[in-house]
Structure 1
Amino acid sequence: MPELLPTDILAFLAIAALLAGFIDAIAGGGGLITIPALLSAGIPPAAALATNKLQGSFGTAMATLTFWRAGQIELKTMAMPVACVFVGSATGTALVQVTGTGFMTAVIPVLLVAIAVYFLLSPRVGDMEARARLSLPAFSLTVGLAVGFYDGFFGPGTGSFFALGCVALLGMNMRRATANTKLLNFTSNVVSLGVFALGGQIVWTAGLVMAVAQVAGAWAGSHATIRFGTRLVRPLLVIVCLAMTIRLVAQPDHPLYLLLRGLFAA
Protein backbone atom coordinates (compact mmCIF):
# COMPACT_ATOMS: atom_id res chain seq x y z
CA MET A 1 0.00 0.00 0.00
CA PRO A 2 1.61 3.32 -1.04
CA GLU A 3 2.10 5.90 1.72
CA LEU A 4 1.31 8.85 -0.55
CA LEU A 5 -2.42 9.18 -1.22
CA PRO A 6 -4.13 11.76 -3.47
CA THR A 7 -5.06 15.05 -1.83
CA ASP A 8 -8.80 14.51 -2.34
CA ILE A 9 -8.62 11.11 -0.62
CA LEU A 10 -6.74 12.61 2.34
CA ALA A 11 -9.34 15.40 2.58
CA PHE A 12 -12.14 12.79 2.58
CA LEU A 13 -10.40 10.82 5.34
CA ALA A 14 -9.86 13.99 7.40
CA ILE A 15 -13.57 14.88 7.25
CA ALA A 16 -14.49 11.33 8.29
CA ALA A 17 -12.04 11.52 11.21
CA LEU A 18 -13.39 14.90 12.35
CA LEU A 19 -16.93 13.55 12.57
CA ALA A 20 -15.75 10.30 14.12
CA GLY A 21 -13.73 12.14 16.77
CA PHE A 22 -16.79 14.15 17.82
CA ILE A 23 -19.04 11.08 18.07
CA ASP A 24 -16.38 8.91 19.68
CA ALA A 25 -15.73 11.42 22.47
CA ILE A 26 -19.41 11.34 23.39
CA ALA A 27 -20.62 7.80 22.83
CA GLY A 28 -17.88 5.73 21.19
CA GLY A 29 -18.33 4.10 17.81
CA GLY A 30 -16.14 6.42 15.76
CA GLY A 31 -14.69 3.40 13.97
CA LEU A 32 -18.12 2.99 12.39
CA ILE A 33 -17.15 6.01 10.27
CA THR A 34 -13.36 5.78 9.93
CA ILE A 35 -12.88 2.10 9.11
CA PRO A 36 -15.33 2.14 6.15
CA ALA A 37 -13.70 5.42 5.02
CA LEU A 38 -10.23 3.84 5.09
CA LEU A 39 -11.46 0.77 3.22
CA SER A 40 -13.21 2.90 0.59
CA ALA A 41 -9.89 4.73 0.07
CA GLY A 42 -8.42 1.43 -1.12
CA ILE A 43 -6.49 0.58 2.04
CA PRO A 44 -6.43 -3.19 2.74
CA PRO A 45 -8.39 -4.43 5.81
CA ALA A 46 -5.42 -5.19 8.08
CA ALA A 47 -3.79 -1.85 7.26
CA ALA A 48 -7.15 -0.07 7.73
CA LEU A 49 -7.51 -1.51 11.25
CA ALA A 50 -3.93 -0.54 12.11
CA THR A 51 -4.25 2.98 10.66
CA ASN A 52 -7.55 3.43 12.48
CA LYS A 53 -5.77 2.72 15.77
CA LEU A 54 -3.22 5.42 14.98
CA GLN A 55 -5.73 8.18 14.31
CA GLY A 56 -8.08 6.95 17.03
CA SER A 57 -5.33 7.11 19.64
CA PHE A 58 -4.95 10.85 19.04
CA GLY A 59 -8.70 11.37 19.37
CA THR A 60 -9.03 9.43 22.62
CA ALA A 61 -5.91 11.19 23.95
CA MET A 62 -7.53 14.60 23.38
CA ALA A 63 -10.85 13.50 24.90
CA THR A 64 -9.05 12.01 27.92
CA LEU A 65 -7.01 15.18 28.45
CA THR A 66 -10.10 17.38 28.19
CA PHE A 67 -12.08 15.32 30.71
CA TRP A 68 -9.07 15.18 33.05
CA ARG A 69 -8.63 18.96 32.97
CA ALA A 70 -12.33 19.28 33.82
CA GLY A 71 -11.82 17.03 36.86
CA GLN A 72 -13.96 14.20 35.47
CA ILE A 73 -11.30 11.44 35.52
CA GLU A 74 -9.88 9.82 38.68
CA LEU A 75 -6.46 8.58 37.58
CA LYS A 76 -5.63 6.86 40.89
CA THR A 77 -9.00 5.11 41.03
CA MET A 78 -8.72 3.85 37.45
CA ALA A 79 -5.09 2.68 37.72
CA MET A 80 -5.98 -1.01 38.12
CA PRO A 81 -8.58 -1.06 35.32
CA VAL A 82 -6.05 0.68 33.05
CA ALA A 83 -3.42 -1.98 33.81
CA CYS A 84 -5.88 -4.79 33.01
CA VAL A 85 -6.99 -3.08 29.79
CA PHE A 86 -3.30 -2.82 28.82
CA VAL A 87 -2.80 -6.57 29.20
CA GLY A 88 -6.08 -7.46 27.48
CA SER A 89 -5.51 -5.18 24.48
CA ALA A 90 -1.96 -6.40 23.88
CA THR A 91 -3.13 -10.01 23.98
CA GLY A 92 -6.08 -9.42 21.67
CA THR A 93 -4.06 -7.50 19.07
CA ALA A 94 -1.36 -10.15 19.02
CA LEU A 95 -3.95 -12.91 18.61
CA VAL A 96 -6.01 -11.26 15.85
CA GLN A 97 -2.97 -11.18 13.59
CA VAL A 98 -2.89 -15.00 13.52
CA THR A 99 -6.61 -15.86 13.79
CA GLY A 100 -9.94 -14.75 12.32
CA THR A 101 -12.78 -12.72 13.81
CA GLY A 102 -15.73 -14.83 12.65
CA PHE A 103 -17.22 -15.55 16.08
CA MET A 104 -16.94 -11.92 17.19
CA THR A 105 -18.59 -10.74 13.97
CA ALA A 106 -21.63 -12.94 14.65
CA VAL A 107 -22.10 -12.16 18.35
CA ILE A 108 -21.32 -8.44 18.67
CA PRO A 109 -24.49 -7.08 16.94
CA VAL A 110 -26.66 -8.91 19.49
CA LEU A 111 -24.65 -7.41 22.37
CA LEU A 112 -24.85 -3.91 20.89
CA VAL A 113 -28.66 -4.11 20.68
CA ALA A 114 -28.75 -5.24 24.32
CA ILE A 115 -26.58 -2.25 25.33
CA ALA A 116 -28.84 0.15 23.39
CA VAL A 117 -31.93 -1.23 25.16
CA TYR A 118 -30.20 -0.93 28.55
CA PHE A 119 -29.23 2.71 28.07
CA LEU A 120 -32.67 3.52 26.66
CA LEU A 121 -34.73 1.94 29.45
CA SER A 122 -32.61 1.58 32.59
CA PRO A 123 -33.44 4.02 35.43
CA ARG A 124 -29.78 3.71 36.57
CA VAL A 125 -28.62 5.73 33.58
CA GLY A 126 -28.57 9.40 34.50
CA ASP A 127 -26.68 12.18 36.21
CA MET A 128 -26.97 10.57 39.67
CA GLU A 129 -24.46 8.11 41.11
CA ALA A 130 -25.73 4.61 42.00
CA ARG A 131 -24.50 1.80 44.22
CA ALA A 132 -21.60 -0.16 42.71
CA ARG A 133 -22.33 -3.82 41.99
CA LEU A 134 -18.68 -4.84 41.62
CA SER A 135 -15.56 -3.88 43.51
CA LEU A 136 -12.90 -2.05 41.51
CA PRO A 137 -10.53 -5.09 41.47
CA ALA A 138 -13.36 -7.36 40.27
CA PHE A 139 -14.31 -4.83 37.58
CA SER A 140 -10.68 -4.60 36.48
CA LEU A 141 -10.17 -8.35 36.19
CA THR A 142 -13.44 -8.92 34.32
CA VAL A 143 -14.50 -5.88 32.28
CA GLY A 144 -10.99 -4.40 32.02
CA LEU A 145 -9.35 -7.56 30.73
CA ALA A 146 -12.28 -8.72 28.58
CA VAL A 147 -13.08 -5.42 26.85
CA GLY A 148 -9.39 -4.59 26.47
CA PHE A 149 -8.91 -7.96 24.75
CA TYR A 150 -11.97 -7.34 22.59
CA ASP A 151 -10.72 -3.92 21.47
CA GLY A 152 -7.36 -5.34 20.48
CA PHE A 153 -8.97 -8.29 18.73
CA PHE A 154 -11.97 -6.71 16.98
CA GLY A 155 -13.02 -3.26 18.20
CA PRO A 156 -16.51 -2.02 17.23
CA GLY A 157 -18.48 -0.86 20.26
CA THR A 158 -15.58 -0.81 22.73
CA GLY A 159 -16.58 2.57 24.14
CA SER A 160 -20.16 1.34 24.61
CA PHE A 161 -18.96 -1.76 26.50
CA PHE A 162 -16.74 0.31 28.80
CA ALA A 163 -19.54 2.83 29.41
CA LEU A 164 -22.01 0.04 30.21
CA GLY A 165 -19.58 -1.45 32.72
CA CYS A 166 -18.91 1.88 34.42
CA VAL A 167 -22.64 2.69 34.74
CA ALA A 168 -24.12 -0.74 35.51
CA LEU A 169 -21.28 -2.23 37.58
CA LEU A 170 -19.43 0.72 39.13
CA GLY A 171 -22.53 2.90 39.62
CA MET A 172 -21.11 5.95 37.82
CA ASN A 173 -23.34 8.62 36.32
CA MET A 174 -23.23 9.08 32.56
CA ARG A 175 -20.86 12.05 32.53
CA ARG A 176 -18.34 10.36 34.82
CA ALA A 177 -18.67 7.03 33.01
CA THR A 178 -18.05 8.67 29.63
CA ALA A 179 -14.94 10.42 30.96
CA ASN A 180 -13.40 7.30 32.47
CA THR A 181 -14.34 5.30 29.38
CA LYS A 182 -12.12 7.61 27.33
CA LEU A 183 -9.16 6.84 29.61
CA LEU A 184 -9.71 3.09 29.23
CA ASN A 185 -10.28 3.39 25.48
CA PHE A 186 -7.13 5.49 25.09
CA THR A 187 -5.15 2.76 26.87
CA SER A 188 -6.46 -0.02 24.64
CA ASN A 189 -5.91 2.07 21.50
CA VAL A 190 -2.31 2.95 22.30
CA VAL A 191 -1.36 -0.61 23.24
CA SER A 192 -3.02 -2.03 20.13
CA LEU A 193 -1.33 0.65 18.03
CA GLY A 194 2.08 -0.39 19.36
CA VAL A 195 1.52 -4.03 18.48
CA PHE A 196 0.24 -3.14 15.00
CA ALA A 197 3.23 -0.84 14.44
CA LEU A 198 5.60 -3.72 15.13
CA GLY A 199 3.82 -5.61 12.34
CA GLY A 200 4.37 -2.74 9.86
CA GLN A 201 0.68 -2.42 8.99
CA ILE A 202 0.14 1.33 9.48
CA VAL A 203 -0.34 3.77 6.58
CA TRP A 204 1.33 6.69 8.32
CA THR A 205 0.38 9.53 5.97
CA ALA A 206 -3.34 8.78 6.12
CA GLY A 207 -3.21 8.07 9.86
CA LEU A 208 -1.47 11.32 10.77
CA VAL A 209 -3.72 13.48 8.59
CA MET A 210 -6.76 11.84 10.19
CA ALA A 211 -5.20 12.25 13.64
CA VAL A 212 -5.22 16.06 13.32
CA ALA A 213 -8.93 16.01 12.45
CA GLN A 214 -9.65 13.46 15.19
CA VAL A 215 -8.15 15.77 17.81
CA ALA A 216 -10.40 18.64 16.71
CA GLY A 217 -13.51 16.43 16.73
CA ALA A 218 -12.65 14.87 20.09
CA TRP A 219 -12.11 18.31 21.65
CA ALA A 220 -15.55 19.46 20.51
CA GLY A 221 -17.25 16.21 21.53
CA SER A 222 -15.75 16.05 25.01
CA HIS A 223 -16.67 19.68 25.72
CA ALA A 224 -20.23 18.96 24.53
CA THR A 225 -20.42 16.01 26.94
CA ILE A 226 -19.19 18.09 29.89
CA ARG A 227 -21.78 20.76 29.10
CA PHE A 228 -24.85 18.66 28.29
CA GLY A 229 -24.24 15.36 30.14
CA THR A 230 -26.94 12.69 29.98
CA ARG A 231 -29.20 14.75 27.70
CA LEU A 232 -26.63 14.32 24.93
CA VAL A 233 -24.77 11.11 25.82
CA ARG A 234 -27.70 8.79 26.45
CA PRO A 235 -29.58 9.21 23.13
CA LEU A 236 -26.40 9.38 21.08
CA LEU A 237 -25.03 6.21 22.68
CA VAL A 238 -28.27 4.38 21.83
CA ILE A 239 -28.14 5.66 18.23
CA VAL A 240 -24.47 4.68 17.84
CA CYS A 241 -25.07 1.15 19.18
CA LEU A 242 -27.96 0.59 16.76
CA ALA A 243 -26.02 2.13 13.86
CA MET A 244 -23.05 -0.16 14.52
CA THR A 245 -25.42 -3.14 14.65
CA ILE A 246 -26.94 -2.26 11.27
CA ARG A 247 -23.49 -1.65 9.79
CA LEU A 248 -22.15 -5.02 10.95
CA VAL A 249 -25.23 -7.09 10.07
CA ALA A 250 -25.59 -5.45 6.62
CA GLN A 251 -22.47 -7.24 5.39
CA PRO A 252 -23.62 -9.86 2.80
CA ASP A 253 -21.51 -12.59 4.42
CA HIS A 254 -22.60 -11.88 8.01
CA PRO A 255 -24.31 -14.91 9.67
CA LEU A 256 -27.30 -12.84 10.86
CA TYR A 257 -27.73 -11.29 7.42
CA LEU A 258 -27.78 -14.74 5.86
CA LEU A 259 -30.23 -15.97 8.50
CA LEU A 260 -32.62 -13.06 7.99
CA ARG A 261 -32.42 -13.36 4.21
CA GLY A 262 -33.25 -17.07 4.48
CA LEU A 263 -36.26 -16.38 6.74
CA PHE A 264 -37.74 -13.74 4.44
CA ALA A 265 -37.03 -15.82 1.35
CA ALA A 266 -38.86 -18.81 2.80
Structure 2
Amino acid sequence: MPFELTVEPLILLILAAVAFVAGFIDAIAGGGGLLTTPALLTAGMPPHLVLGTNKLSSTFGSATAGFTYYRRKLFHPARWRLAIVGTLSGALIGAVIAHYMPAEWLNKMLPVIVFACGLYLLFGGTPKAPLDADAPIRKKWQFPQGFSLGFYDGVAGPGTGAFWTVSTLLLYPIDLVRASGVARSMNFVSNIAALTVFVISGQVDYIVGLAMGVSVMIGAFFGARTAISGGSKFIRPVFITVVLALTVRLAWQHWFGQA
Protein backbone atom coordinates (compact mmCIF):
# COMPACT_ATOMS: atom_id res chain seq x y z
CA MET A 1 0.00 0.00 0.00
CA PRO A 2 1.31 3.49 -0.80
CA PHE A 3 0.93 4.75 2.78
CA GLU A 4 2.74 1.81 4.37
CA LEU A 5 6.48 1.89 5.02
CA THR A 6 7.86 -0.36 2.28
CA VAL A 7 11.54 -0.07 3.23
CA GLU A 8 13.52 -0.38 6.44
CA PRO A 9 13.92 2.87 8.45
CA LEU A 10 17.68 2.83 7.90
CA ILE A 11 17.18 2.47 4.15
CA LEU A 12 14.75 5.39 4.25
CA LEU A 13 17.40 7.54 5.96
CA ILE A 14 19.96 6.56 3.32
CA LEU A 15 17.50 7.41 0.55
CA ALA A 16 16.86 10.78 2.18
CA ALA A 17 20.62 11.48 2.31
CA VAL A 18 20.99 10.55 -1.36
CA ALA A 19 18.04 12.79 -2.16
CA PHE A 20 19.69 15.77 -0.46
CA VAL A 21 22.80 15.40 -2.62
CA ALA A 22 20.65 14.86 -5.71
CA GLY A 23 18.63 18.00 -4.97
CA PHE A 24 21.78 20.07 -4.54
CA ILE A 25 23.26 18.84 -7.83
CA ASP A 26 19.98 19.02 -9.71
CA ALA A 27 19.45 22.67 -8.77
CA ILE A 28 22.82 23.52 -10.29
CA ALA A 29 23.13 21.36 -13.37
CA GLY A 30 20.32 18.82 -13.54
CA GLY A 31 20.87 15.07 -13.41
CA GLY A 32 19.66 14.44 -9.87
CA GLY A 33 17.81 11.38 -11.14
CA LEU A 34 21.22 9.87 -11.79
CA LEU A 35 21.38 9.33 -8.03
CA THR A 36 17.79 8.88 -6.90
CA THR A 37 16.55 6.40 -9.51
CA PRO A 38 19.32 3.80 -8.96
CA ALA A 39 18.99 4.33 -5.20
CA LEU A 40 15.29 3.48 -5.30
CA LEU A 41 15.95 0.42 -7.44
CA THR A 42 18.73 -0.71 -5.13
CA ALA A 43 16.39 -0.34 -2.15
CA GLY A 44 14.25 -3.05 -3.71
CA MET A 45 11.32 -0.91 -4.78
CA PRO A 46 9.32 -2.42 -7.67
CA PRO A 47 10.23 -0.74 -10.97
CA HIS A 48 6.66 0.41 -11.61
CA LEU A 49 6.83 2.50 -8.41
CA VAL A 50 10.29 3.92 -8.99
CA LEU A 51 9.29 6.38 -11.73
CA GLY A 52 6.28 7.72 -9.85
CA THR A 53 8.03 7.94 -6.48
CA ASN A 54 11.03 9.64 -8.06
CA LYS A 55 8.71 12.16 -9.75
CA LEU A 56 7.16 12.99 -6.39
CA SER A 57 10.52 13.69 -4.75
CA SER A 58 11.97 15.54 -7.74
CA THR A 59 8.91 17.79 -7.91
CA PHE A 60 9.84 19.16 -4.48
CA GLY A 61 13.35 19.96 -5.68
CA SER A 62 12.39 21.53 -8.99
CA ALA A 63 9.74 23.65 -7.29
CA THR A 64 12.22 24.93 -4.71
CA ALA A 65 14.98 25.63 -7.21
CA GLY A 66 12.61 27.19 -9.73
CA PHE A 67 11.12 29.51 -7.14
CA THR A 68 14.59 30.54 -5.97
CA TYR A 69 15.57 31.56 -9.50
CA TYR A 70 12.23 33.33 -9.95
CA ARG A 71 12.60 35.25 -6.70
CA ARG A 72 16.05 36.41 -7.80
CA LYS A 73 14.46 37.63 -11.07
CA LEU A 74 16.45 35.16 -13.13
CA PHE A 75 13.35 33.55 -14.63
CA HIS A 76 10.33 35.42 -16.00
CA PRO A 77 7.34 33.10 -16.68
CA ALA A 78 5.62 35.63 -18.94
CA ARG A 79 8.48 35.33 -21.45
CA TRP A 80 8.24 31.55 -21.54
CA ARG A 81 4.49 30.97 -21.85
CA LEU A 82 4.70 28.87 -25.01
CA ALA A 83 7.49 26.77 -23.49
CA ILE A 84 5.38 26.19 -20.38
CA VAL A 85 2.36 25.11 -22.43
CA GLY A 86 4.50 22.85 -24.61
CA THR A 87 6.23 21.28 -21.61
CA LEU A 88 2.97 20.66 -19.78
CA SER A 89 1.25 19.03 -22.75
CA GLY A 90 4.31 17.00 -23.72
CA ALA A 91 4.84 15.67 -20.20
CA LEU A 92 1.18 14.66 -19.83
CA ILE A 93 1.19 12.78 -23.13
CA GLY A 94 4.59 11.21 -22.41
CA ALA A 95 3.56 9.96 -18.97
CA VAL A 96 0.29 8.51 -20.27
CA ILE A 97 1.97 6.40 -22.95
CA ALA A 98 5.13 5.66 -20.93
CA HIS A 99 4.11 2.04 -20.42
CA TYR A 100 3.06 1.47 -24.02
CA MET A 101 5.92 3.04 -25.97
CA PRO A 102 8.93 0.82 -26.76
CA ALA A 103 11.77 3.07 -25.67
CA GLU A 104 14.76 0.80 -26.36
CA TRP A 105 15.91 2.88 -29.31
CA LEU A 106 15.66 6.07 -27.25
CA ASN A 107 17.62 4.53 -24.39
CA LYS A 108 20.42 3.58 -26.76
CA MET A 109 20.67 7.16 -27.95
CA LEU A 110 20.66 8.77 -24.50
CA PRO A 111 24.38 8.34 -23.73
CA VAL A 112 25.31 9.87 -27.08
CA ILE A 113 23.00 12.86 -26.61
CA VAL A 114 24.05 13.55 -23.02
CA PHE A 115 27.73 13.18 -23.89
CA ALA A 116 27.27 15.72 -26.67
CA CYS A 117 25.94 18.14 -24.05
CA GLY A 118 29.14 17.79 -22.06
CA LEU A 119 31.33 18.21 -25.13
CA TYR A 120 29.43 21.36 -26.09
CA LEU A 121 30.32 23.16 -22.88
CA LEU A 122 33.74 21.54 -22.53
CA PHE A 123 35.02 22.64 -25.93
CA GLY A 124 32.48 25.24 -27.00
CA GLY A 125 32.87 27.33 -23.89
CA THR A 126 30.20 29.01 -21.85
CA PRO A 127 28.16 31.57 -23.79
CA LYS A 128 28.68 35.11 -22.65
CA ALA A 129 25.82 36.92 -21.01
CA PRO A 130 24.19 39.36 -23.44
CA LEU A 131 24.81 43.03 -22.81
CA ASP A 132 21.09 43.44 -22.36
CA ALA A 133 20.01 41.05 -19.64
CA ASP A 134 16.42 41.61 -20.74
CA ALA A 135 17.05 40.73 -24.38
CA PRO A 136 13.84 39.51 -26.05
CA ILE A 137 13.30 35.76 -26.03
CA ARG A 138 12.23 34.37 -29.39
CA LYS A 139 8.97 32.44 -29.25
CA LYS A 140 9.50 30.39 -32.42
CA TRP A 141 11.20 27.44 -30.74
CA GLN A 142 9.59 27.58 -27.32
CA PHE A 143 6.66 25.24 -27.93
CA PRO A 144 8.59 22.53 -29.85
CA GLN A 145 11.43 22.71 -27.32
CA GLY A 146 9.02 22.45 -24.39
CA PHE A 147 6.87 19.72 -25.95
CA SER A 148 9.80 17.47 -26.91
CA LEU A 149 11.62 17.80 -23.58
CA GLY A 150 8.37 17.55 -21.63
CA PHE A 151 7.46 14.41 -23.55
CA TYR A 152 10.87 12.91 -22.86
CA ASP A 153 10.61 13.72 -19.16
CA GLY A 154 7.20 12.05 -19.03
CA VAL A 155 8.45 8.92 -20.79
CA ALA A 156 11.89 8.56 -19.23
CA GLY A 157 13.51 11.54 -17.53
CA PRO A 158 17.28 11.10 -17.02
CA GLY A 159 19.17 14.21 -18.09
CA THR A 160 16.13 16.37 -18.81
CA GLY A 161 17.57 19.28 -16.85
CA ALA A 162 20.84 19.04 -18.75
CA PHE A 163 18.97 18.95 -22.07
CA TRP A 164 17.00 22.05 -21.06
CA THR A 165 20.15 23.94 -20.11
CA VAL A 166 22.05 23.19 -23.31
CA SER A 167 19.12 23.69 -25.69
CA THR A 168 18.26 27.00 -24.02
CA LEU A 169 21.84 28.19 -24.41
CA LEU A 170 21.76 27.23 -28.09
CA LEU A 171 18.39 28.76 -28.94
CA TYR A 172 18.25 32.03 -27.00
CA PRO A 173 20.45 35.03 -26.07
CA ILE A 174 20.79 33.90 -22.47
CA ASP A 175 23.64 33.17 -20.08
CA LEU A 176 24.29 29.96 -18.17
CA VAL A 177 22.81 31.14 -14.88
CA ARG A 178 19.52 32.17 -16.50
CA ALA A 179 19.51 29.01 -18.62
CA SER A 180 19.73 27.04 -15.38
CA GLY A 181 16.76 29.00 -14.07
CA VAL A 182 14.74 28.11 -17.17
CA ALA A 183 15.76 24.45 -16.87
CA ARG A 184 14.78 24.16 -13.21
CA SER A 185 11.45 25.92 -13.77
CA MET A 186 10.53 23.82 -16.81
CA ASN A 187 11.56 20.71 -14.89
CA PHE A 188 8.94 21.61 -12.32
CA VAL A 189 6.27 21.95 -15.01
CA SER A 190 7.02 18.54 -16.53
CA ASN A 191 7.45 16.91 -13.11
CA ILE A 192 4.09 18.06 -11.79
CA ALA A 193 2.34 17.04 -15.02
CA ALA A 194 3.88 13.55 -15.06
CA LEU A 195 3.34 13.16 -11.31
CA THR A 196 -0.37 13.78 -11.79
CA VAL A 197 -0.57 10.82 -14.16
CA PHE A 198 1.45 8.57 -11.81
CA VAL A 199 -0.77 9.51 -8.85
CA ILE A 200 -3.94 8.72 -10.78
CA SER A 201 -2.50 5.35 -11.85
CA GLY A 202 -1.45 4.54 -8.25
CA GLN A 203 2.27 4.32 -9.00
CA VAL A 204 3.63 6.41 -6.12
CA ASP A 205 5.05 5.35 -2.75
CA TYR A 206 4.06 8.41 -0.74
CA ILE A 207 6.09 7.82 2.42
CA VAL A 208 9.35 7.27 0.56
CA GLY A 209 8.55 9.99 -1.97
CA LEU A 210 7.69 12.61 0.64
CA ALA A 211 10.71 11.78 2.82
CA MET A 212 13.01 12.06 -0.17
CA GLY A 213 11.12 15.11 -1.38
CA VAL A 214 11.83 17.07 1.78
CA SER A 215 15.53 16.21 1.49
CA VAL A 216 15.57 17.10 -2.20
CA MET A 217 13.89 20.40 -1.38
CA ILE A 218 16.53 21.32 1.20
CA GLY A 219 19.33 20.31 -1.15
CA ALA A 220 17.77 22.25 -4.01
CA PHE A 221 17.48 25.38 -1.87
CA PHE A 222 21.18 25.38 -1.07
CA GLY A 223 22.12 24.27 -4.58
CA ALA A 224 20.21 27.07 -6.29
CA ARG A 225 21.63 29.72 -3.96
CA THR A 226 25.14 28.38 -4.52
CA ALA A 227 24.67 28.36 -8.29
CA ILE A 228 23.32 31.92 -8.36
CA SER A 229 26.09 33.30 -6.18
CA GLY A 230 28.82 31.32 -7.95
CA GLY A 231 27.62 32.15 -11.44
CA SER A 232 28.76 30.47 -14.64
CA LYS A 233 32.27 29.79 -13.36
CA PHE A 234 30.77 27.54 -10.69
CA ILE A 235 27.96 25.98 -12.75
CA ARG A 236 30.09 25.06 -15.77
CA PRO A 237 32.42 22.48 -14.14
CA VAL A 238 29.57 21.00 -12.12
CA PHE A 239 27.42 20.75 -15.22
CA ILE A 240 30.17 19.07 -17.26
CA THR A 241 30.86 16.60 -14.44
CA VAL A 242 27.18 15.72 -14.14
CA VAL A 243 26.58 15.14 -17.85
CA LEU A 244 29.72 13.03 -18.21
CA ALA A 245 28.71 10.94 -15.19
CA LEU A 246 25.22 10.64 -16.64
CA THR A 247 26.76 9.44 -19.92
CA VAL A 248 28.66 6.67 -18.15
CA ARG A 249 25.60 5.64 -16.18
CA LEU A 250 23.29 5.53 -19.20
CA ALA A 251 25.82 3.75 -21.39
CA TRP A 252 26.43 1.15 -18.68
CA GLN A 253 22.70 0.61 -18.20
CA HIS A 254 21.41 0.66 -21.76
CA TRP A 255 24.40 -0.53 -23.80
CA PHE A 256 25.75 -3.20 -21.49
CA GLY A 257 22.53 -4.21 -19.77
CA GLN A 258 23.57 -3.30 -16.24
CA ALA A 259 21.03 -1.87 -13.79
TM normalised by structure 2 equals 0.93
**3-state SS in 2 of match to 1:17:** helix
- Unpaired segments of 5 or more residues in structure 1? 259-266
Does residue 90 of structure 1 match 2:76? no
Partner residue in 1 for 2:130 = 129
**3-state SS in 2 of match to 1:202:** coil
Partner residue in 1 for 2:161 = 159
Amino acid at match of 1:224: T
Distance 1:129 1:144 in 2: 23
Partner residue in 1 for 2:21 = 19
CA contact (8 A) 1:62 1:215 kept: yes
The percent identity for this pair of structures is 37
Partner residue in 2 for 1:61 = 63
Shift of 1:135: 6.4
**3-state SS in 2 of match to 1:250:** helix
Distance 2:161 2:77 in 1: 18
Partner residue in 2 for 1:38 = 40
Which consecutive aligned stretches of 4+ in structure 1 deviate over 4 angstroms post-superposition? none
Partner residue in 2 for 1:264 = none
1:121-160: per-residue Cα shift (whole Å, max 9, x none)? 224x2451289xx963322222111111001011111001
Shift of 1:100: 3.0
TM normalised by structure 1 equals 0.90
Alignment of 1:1-266 (within 5 A): 3-4=4-5, 5-123=7-125, 125-129=126-130, 136-251=138-253, 254=254, 256-257=255-256
1:21-71: per-residue Cα shift (whole Å, max 9, x none)? 000000000000000111111111121111000000000000011111111
CA contact (8 A) 1:22 1:218 kept: yes
1:179-203: per-residue Cα shift (whole Å, max 9, x none)? 1111111000000000111110000
Shift of 1:249: 1.3
- Unpaired segments of 5 or more residues in structure 2? none
Counterparts in 2 of 1:112 and 1:179: CA distance versus 1, 3 Å: same
Distance 2:41 2:32 in 1: 15
Coordinate RMSD, CA, aligned? 1.7
Distance 2:103 2:187 in 1: 20
Amino acid at match of 1:86: L
